Structure 1
Amino acid sequence: MAEVRKMKLGSQGLEVSIQGLGCAGLVRPPKPENEMIAVIRHAINSGVTFLDTADFYGPFTSEILLGKALKGGIREKVQLATKFGLKSVDGKIIVQGDPAYVRAACEASLKRLNVNYIDLYYQHRVDTRVPIEVTMGELKKLVEEGKIKYVGLSEACAATIKRAHAVHPITAVQMEWSLWTRDLEEQLVPTCRELGIGIVAYSPLGRGFFSLGPKVVESFPEGDYRKTIPRFQPENLERNTHVFERVSEMAARKGCTTSQLALAWVHHRGEDVCPIPGTSKINNLNQNIAALSVKLTPDEMAEIESYGSADNVFGDRLLTKTYSWLDSDTPPLSSLQIS
């Protein structure tokens, strides 16, 4: 199995495994707890020590699961990331980022995770009603109190990232980044690199598309949010099949799986990029780790990127832009709020 080395994430001192484990799929839909704990511990024993969760996953059950998995002296072996800011109210997803909520969410996550501190605490989505400086002010206090070590943002626009970073250094920005999701490359990646912020790539396998191709929709369980994504609707999925076919052909030439090639491409995007593929199966986890052994030349990178270019992919990556960086700037901090 490939060695999972460490990397510096951002410029504030955080070191993580070069590949992480996204933990949403461990509880969505619900799965046998003992089996999912075995997956988490196998990841850690294999060198994948950067674990990514959120209070929204479940909700709450992913954090509880991790709390149980990290018992017995395992906590200090891992870099634990969780998120706040999303909650479901009467069937609607609400984004919240006021100081009182930030603090209450952090305290609740600490209890569920059964830890004294969180390594990396993200704002899951940006509350467009609250100036980012206000949210960051409370996160800065939590850092000073030792409850969190580093601060992150997810799906934030460049202007928000810059404003947040001016209040307290941002260690990482988590964005969807895969062969067929490249909208962050023009603005967000350069902004992060200018400020020394690490990039955490979620859904690096295209929400399963680069594992199974168009057949992936047949594996979506009842209630799976991916069923609503425009990219997976029949009229778009049929047109996107050629992307998977081209990547599959190249993977065959490289002697690896399609998912390994897609994951290797993300790894090759820079030393500051850490993908966090999620899986609930040990075999898939091993396959993802093996992607670290796939090496790509500049010519091969250019070839594979041409397959997933924007004009070759049909359908948006999310059902609504409300929860993407495209609509994530916040109001300015007024003089009244400063006082």
Structure 2
Amino acid sequence: MEQRWLGNRKVGAIGFGAMSFGGMFGPTDEATSLRCLDAAVDTGISHIDTANIYGMGLSEEIIGKWGCRDVHLGTKCGIINGPPRAVRNDEAYIRECLEESLRRLRREHVDLYYIHRRQPEIPIEDLAGTMGRLVQEGKIGGYGLSEVAPSTVRRAHAEHPLTAVQNEFSLWTRLPQLGLIQTCRDLGVAFVAFSPLGRGMFGRDPLKRDFRAGIDFRDTNPRFVEPNFSANLAAIAPFRALCAERGWTVPGAALRWVLGQGEHIIPIPGTRLAAHLGDWNPPALKASDLEEIGDILPAGFAHGDRYGDHQMAFVERYC
């Protein structure tokens, strides 16, 4: 697998998002998740991304039991699931969450530690100072921010250099191209793209609307409810046809498009099943192929917002 810089270390250009290990997209078990991690490393993946809120610690516990020390590992804190949903960025809370994550991960150090959502009442310079102290103490290798605006990135980076920014980015979520991806490039900060396969919409086969009510959040997500769901399937169908015609896998082509938007971009698709990993191999595409994909799926084609209103509460908006 090609390599890209994540802080001061090169990792596989495609990372792995471990949200699914928390059971948030379908039933899974520890043995299945461990097999998936083994298979991910076998494909050349060397960065694993998780968070304390994924399965309320379950994802971190599974990764801790897996125990592989050869991968670059990132986790997050900051969201309080509630109800009500809230965020905390004060230093005491961040330190408490970090110690709990390290215990579950069975590590004394984590390579990358994100603030999952920013608490607006705390100046970003104060937050960056907290994260800088954790770096200096050797608790974390670097820090990141998630779902933030370009102005926040610049202010944080000026206080203590950022390692990465993680926001949603894919063929159907293009907002980061309106300044955030460019800001990260100019500052030398990695841009980690979560949900690069549209939460399964760009999977091997078209999704069916059989999400588990009350568990799989896609069940009430605006892009996955009718009539948006059927409209999105229809909009993506020509892209699927192009992939079949050219001999590309749908996930592979979608990931190649994301990778093609900048050398500092690292997508982190997720799965709970090792069998899906073989579909992620991105084909070698020409500039004309990427342009053709963009013509079939132009910016803004998606029907519905990417989050419901309650999930947008702590996402920074800048356009």
TM-score category of the 2 structures, normalised to the smaller one: over 0.9
Aligned equivalents of 1:6, 1:102: Cα separation in 2: 31
- The residue that corresponds to 2:159 in the other structure is 167
Counterpart position of 2:294: 305
CA RMSD in angstroms, aligned pairs only: 1.8
From 29, 32, 41, the counterpart of 2:29: 32
Matched AA of 1:80: L
Structure 1 residues 187 and 216, CA gap change in structure 2 (3 angstroms): farther
Indicate if the aligned counterparts of 2:211 and 2:219 stay in contact, CA closer than 8 A.
no
1:219, distance to aligned residue in structure 2 (A): 4.8
The count of residues paired between Structure 1 and Structure 2 equals 315
Give 1:38 deviation, angstroms: 1.5
* CA distances 1:1-42 after superposition (whole Å, capped 9, x unpaired): xxx233212xx4132221111101012245221221111122
The aligned counterpart of 1:43 is: 40
The aligned residue for residue 13 of structure 2 is 18
1:242 partner SS:
helix
Report how far residue 216 of structure 1 moved. 3.8
- In 1, the alpha carbon distance for the partners of 2:107 and 2:214 equals 33
Distance 2:49 2:248 in 1: 26
State whether structure 2 residue 235 is matched by structure 1 residue 243. yes
Using the TM superposition, give the Cα deviation of residue 221 of structure 1 relative to its aligned residue in structure 2, in angstroms: 6.2
Match of 1:217 in 2: 209
- After TM superposition, list the pairs within 5 Å mapping 1:65-80 onto structure 2: 65-70=62-67, 74-75=68-69, 77-80=70-73
Question: Which residues in structure 2 correspond to 1:1-339 (within 5 Å)?
Answer: 4-9=1-6, 12-29=7-24, 31-70=28-67, 74-75=68-69, 77-89=70-82, 91-211=83-203, 215-220=207-212, 222-288=214-280, 290-291=281-282, 294-320=283-309, 321-326=312-317
Q: What is the alpha-carbon distance in structure 2 between the residues aligned to residue 25 and residue 217 of structure 1? A: 18
Quote the offset at 1:212 in angstroms: 5.7
Q: Deviations over 1:26-80 (max 9, x none)?
A: 122452212211111221233212000000101111111100001xxx21x1000
**Kept in 1: contact 2:163–2:190 (CA 8 A):** yes
The gaps in structure 2 that reach 5 residues or longer are none
SS in 2 for 1:153: strand
Cα displacement (A) at 1:311:
4.2
Q: Which amino acid aligns with 2:23?
A: R
Q: Percent identity?
A: 37
Q: Is the 8 A contact 1:102 1:135 kept in 2?
A: no
2:195 and 2:163 map into 1 onto residues whose CA distance is 20
Check whether the contact 1:214–1:237 (CA below 8 A) recurs between aligned residues. no
> Which TM-score applies when normalising by structure 2?
0.94
Structure 1 runs not aligned, ≥5 long: 329-339
1:203 CA displacement: 0.5
Partner SS for 2:34: helix
CA distance in 2, matches of 1:40, 1:59: 19
3-state SS in 1 of match to 2:121: coil
TM-score by length of 1: 0.88
Partners of 1:103 and 1:138 within 8 A in 2: no
Q: Is the 8 A contact 1:170 1:197 kept in 2?
A: yes
| Amino acid in structure 1 at the alignment position of 2:20 | G
